[in-house]
Structure 1
Amino acid sequence: MKFWYRLGLKALDLFLPVLALSGEKMKKFSEGRKGIFMRISKFRNDNPGDLAWFHVASLGEYEQAKPVIHELKKRNPKLLIAVSFFSPSGYEPTSSKPQENVDFITYLPLDLKSNAENFVSLLNPSFSVFVKYDIWYEHIMALKERGIPVFLISALFRPTQRYFKGDGFFQNLLKQFDHIFTQDESSISLLDKIHYSNHTLAGDTRFDRVAENAKNPKPFPQLKTWIGQKQTIVLGSVWEEDMKILIPLINANPEFKWIIAPHDLDQGKMREWIKRISLRSAFYSKAGWNDSPNVLFLDTIGMLSSVYQFAKIAYVGGAFGSGLHNILEPLGFHVPVIFGKVRLDSKFPEAKISQDKGCAFSVEDLKSLRLTFENLQDEKVYEKAREGAESWLAENLGAARKICNTMDLILQDER
């Protein structure tokens, strides 16, 4: 398997310039990786000292890394933090503006042996942290060859994953980690079955993140004035599949204010939705929204996680399509959440758990959406959902602290 793995990556490297012509995302994937080693070398020459390297696939995994990064910086302010991304959808928005507690952001080079050895040698981390699932053989082996501790946090495993089929290449790769921190008990059981015992059930670090965000949200005073005394529904990270059932709900409920944050900031798509909405609508970036339209489209990045503070109810999109987006952000404000029927519960365990806790509700179509929305207008049902969110959040705080405590002990033993 190692032979085919390396062959596949070499083939990708060879054809990457051609693939870059196939679309904007592949172009960014290819172009962004040029000059990586020069940038790392300059950064380390200018910033010597102990460094923790975090690797994430994209924005979702970066959100899970943030609480651990914050905790590490709190314990050791002089520790440098470098974050690598695999995907342009993560690298592009984060590298375009300063990131709290992060000193260096880069793409991860393709997982070729020469790339990995060069990357690890130049970055020279004191330890490394991979997040959730984006695990790369050559980079991990380059770390192990240098005796650099390597951790996996927020791991979430399923029996169908390749790590648990046979005992070959991928299972051996998993066993290279000095310690694995999982989100749930079932992941611990899977690790036990392959005789890997260096594990800790730490929970989902996103709870720490959303709790902190709920304590200190961005204020948006103009938005608060626009809302006034109206009850507000926030539709977060929505796609066309979501809007097919949401638009009739919006049209039938003009007494509410509606804030819509599309997954894709394509104004053409938003204008299509506006044509299908019978209520007055406006874009946030345009001054006209101060004239009190009923529906406001957020056409700027970085607002949604704080905008949930204004919500009576939130709808989180994605479940009907590529996958459910972050339902924990509104739950951090104790806001009941509605979302589409999730296709794969094991991939989004928070969907089932949140329903079991009574703070979230899954819908299949317009009929079930209307019924759920109407039920949440009942004060007793609504308060029970809020209490469920508050209770679930409280149960899961402290994952970042638990991870850092264990890492400290392991790193002390390594010294």
Structure 2
Amino acid sequence: MQAFELLFPLVGRTNAKLQAMAEGRKGVFGKLAAFKSQHEKVIWFHVASLGEYEQAKPVMAKLKEKSDAAILLTFFSSSGYENVIRKKQPSVDGIFYLPFDTVANGDRFVKAIQPKLALFAKYDIWPNYMKALQKHKVPAYLFSAAFREEQSYFKKDSFLREALKSFSHIFTQNEKSLELLKQIGYQSASFTGDTRFDNVKALSENPQRFPVLEKWIGEQPVLVVGSAWQEDMDCLIPFINKNRKYKYIIAPHEIKSEKMGAWRKAISKQSELYSNFKGDELTKVVIIDNVGMLSSLYQYAEIAYVGGAFGKGLHNILEPIAYGIPVLFGKLKKVGKFPEAAISQKYGCGFEVSGAEDFLNKVMFLQDEEVYKSAQSAAKKMVEENLGSAQKIVDHIMKEIKG
């Protein structure tokens, strides 16, 4: 890891994301020292990127209610950090990059912030940081954990297993993860569910409003496409070009002008970028060329499609489901990595599509009034039956640290 830390800035010169991660870590210990000088008590949360931050938000909010400690949040990736740092986060007092996982950095970090607690979301576990937390007797917790049999923790003689077992308690998303922990002799764990349900419920109850879009939509049904990649648009564009029922709001995963321009050329209907959109009624497709709107855009959808499954991985399908609407997504390559997809299909509000023709068939299926109402009810039921994870986690932690 020490060699990686030295080479990282050099490699970063040829990759914008790696360069941002290297630049963002410069002077981080000075920033941490300044933060600590302003806060006597600190609770440290660490997340890998934006998706894990969404899982951490409700836990941070609940801990804020229970404790007078400052919340310090670290990110590993630049995409998560850069998105979150843009606006004030109500439950967070300081946001930083996590210094690379070396023995020296781990010890220096823990000494610098002297956290009362450390909490990690889902899976981003760093062995040297775990050793430092143990050395300084800081209780550490992993929440919304989702494990799979093929992960390193469950292979014989894995050095990561020691890091996993050093947590004071692990809160899992599902029963399968709990069973895997028991198989390696880890007993201090409990099934509390996925904290994203708490987060998406809160988001859906207070969405941002967009008057220009609302006037443009009028009474016409809308299909919202969230976190779209090229593979998703290859599946959707044939439908968009032929179907007259819907207006379309498309939020790309990456805001790249050349990619959005190519999509607009391939779409036969009149389209416009949101930054230039004035509400022209002839426009049938609006492409969102900024970040931060998507979770609120689903309020306008009759049906949602969430991208990523055909490529690197499915994005957040729980956001549209929280608005009580059915969601479609591509055929998953690694089903075990996204358990919420299987759960949504079991409830009857999530629909996997294999390609353009299957997408058409699924949308036509959902146009049956009874089928659609059933999917709506299933979406509401799925969210309501999975709320409360953050409260369970915080209750357990507060009881443990007070006891």
Corresponding residue of 2:110 = 120
1:195 and 2:185 correspond: yes
Question: Distance between the aligned counterparts of 1:366 and 1:20, measured in 2?
Answer: 37
Question: Distance between the aligned counterparts of 2:135 and 2:27, measured in 1?
Answer: 25
State which of 52, 60, 63 in structure 1 corresponds to 2:54. 63
Q: Which segments of 5 or more consecutive residues in structure 2 lack a partner in the other structure?
A: none
State which drifts further: 89-98 or 35-44: 89-98
Question: Distance between the aligned counterparts of 1:412 and 1:168, measured in 2?
Answer: 33
Corresponding residue of 1:377 = 367
1:43 and 2:27 correspond: no
In the TM superposition, what is the alpha-carbon distance from 1:60 to its structure 2 partner? 0.4
SS at match of 1:81: strand
1:304 and 2:304 correspond: no
1:27 and 2:15 correspond: no
In the TM superposition, what is the alpha-carbon distance from 1:291 to its structure 2 partner? 4.5
Q: What pairs up with 1:4-403 in 2 under 5 angstroms?
A: 9-45=1-37, 47-76=38-67, 78-403=68-393
In the TM superposition, what is the alpha-carbon distance from 1:292 to its structure 2 partner? 4.5
Question: Distance between the aligned counterparts of 1:245 and 1:170, measured in 2?
Answer: 39
Aligned partners of 1:156 and 1:182 also within 8 Å: yes
Q: Deviations over 1:38-76 (max 9, x none)?
A: 00111111x222211000000000000001001111223
Q: Deviations over 1:76-115 (max 9, x none)?
A: 3x32101100001111121232212100000011111111
In the TM superposition, what is the alpha-carbon distance from 1:22 to its structure 2 partner? 1.7
Question: Distance between the aligned counterparts of 2:3 and 2:360, measured in 1?
Answer: 51
Aligned partners of 1:233 and 1:314 also within 8 Å: yes
Aligned partners of 2:212 and 2:278 also within 8 Å: no
Q: TM-score, normalized by length of structure 2?
A: 0.98
Question: Distance between the aligned counterparts of 2:251 and 2:47, measured in 1?
Answer: 24
Aligned partners of 2:212 and 2:279 also within 8 Å: no
State which of 368, 384, 409 in structure 1 corresponds to 2:399. 409
Question: Distance between the aligned counterparts of 1:170 and 1:244, measured in 2?
Answer: 39
Aligned partners of 2:174 and 2:193 also within 8 Å: yes
SS at match of 2:275: coil
Aligned partners of 2:215 and 2:279 also within 8 Å: no
In the TM superposition, what is the alpha-carbon distance from 1:309 to its structure 2 partner? 0.4
State which drifts further: 198-207 or 253-262: 253-262
Q: TM-score, normalized by length of structure 1?
A: 0.95
Aligned partners of 1:226 and 1:292 also within 8 Å: no
Question: Distance between the aligned counterparts of 2:79 and 2:176, measured in 1?
Answer: 30
In the TM superposition, what is the alpha-carbon distance from 1:341 to its structure 2 partner? 0.2
In the TM superposition, what is the alpha-carbon distance from 1:167 to its structure 2 partner? 4.3
| Letter aligned with residue 46 of structure 2 | H
Distance change (3 Å), C-alpha of 1:87 and 1:312 = same
Aligned partners of 2:119 and 2:143 also within 8 Å: yes
Aligned partners of 2:213 and 2:279 also within 8 Å: no
In the TM superposition, what is the alpha-carbon distance from 1:29 to its structure 2 partner? 1.4
Question: Distance between the aligned counterparts of 1:274 and 1:28, measured in 2?
Answer: 30
SS at match of 2:251: strand
Q: Which segments of 5 or more consecutive residues in structure 1 lack a partner in the other structure?
A: 1-8
SS at match of 2:128: helix
Q: Deviations over 1:324-368 (max 9, x none)?
A: 000000000011000100011110111111111110100111111
Aligned partners of 1:50 and 1:80 also within 8 Å: yes
| Letter aligned with residue 52 of structure 2 | E
State which drifts further: 328-337 or 267-276: 267-276
| Letter aligned with residue 23 of structure 2 | E
Question: Distance between the aligned counterparts of 1:202 and 1:179, measured in 2?
Answer: 12
SS at match of 1:106: strand
Question: Distance between the aligned counterparts of 1:278 and 1:168, measured in 2?
Answer: 54
Question: Distance between the aligned counterparts of 1:402 and 1:287, measured in 2?
Answer: 44
Aligned partners of 1:181 and 1:201 also within 8 Å: yes
Aligned partners of 1:317 and 1:325 also within 8 Å: yes
SS at match of 1:285: helix
In the TM superposition, what is the alpha-carbon distance from 1:14 to its structure 2 partner? 2.2
| Letter aligned with residue 48 of structure 1 | H
Question: Distance between the aligned counterparts of 1:356 and 1:328, measured in 2?
Answer: 14
SS at match of 1:100: coil
Aligned partners of 1:282 and 1:289 also within 8 Å: no
Question: Distance between the aligned counterparts of 1:167 and 1:198, measured in 2?
Answer: 21
Aligned partners of 1:73 and 1:101 also within 8 Å: yes
Q: Deviations over 1:131-164 (max 9, x none)?
A: 1111001111111111110000010001111111
In the TM superposition, what is the alpha-carbon distance from 1:170 to its structure 2 partner? 1.5
Question: Distance between the aligned counterparts of 2:206 and 2:282, measured in 1?
Answer: 26
State which drifts further: 239-248 or 91-100: 91-100
| Letter aligned with residue 198 of structure 2 | D
SS at match of 1:361: strand
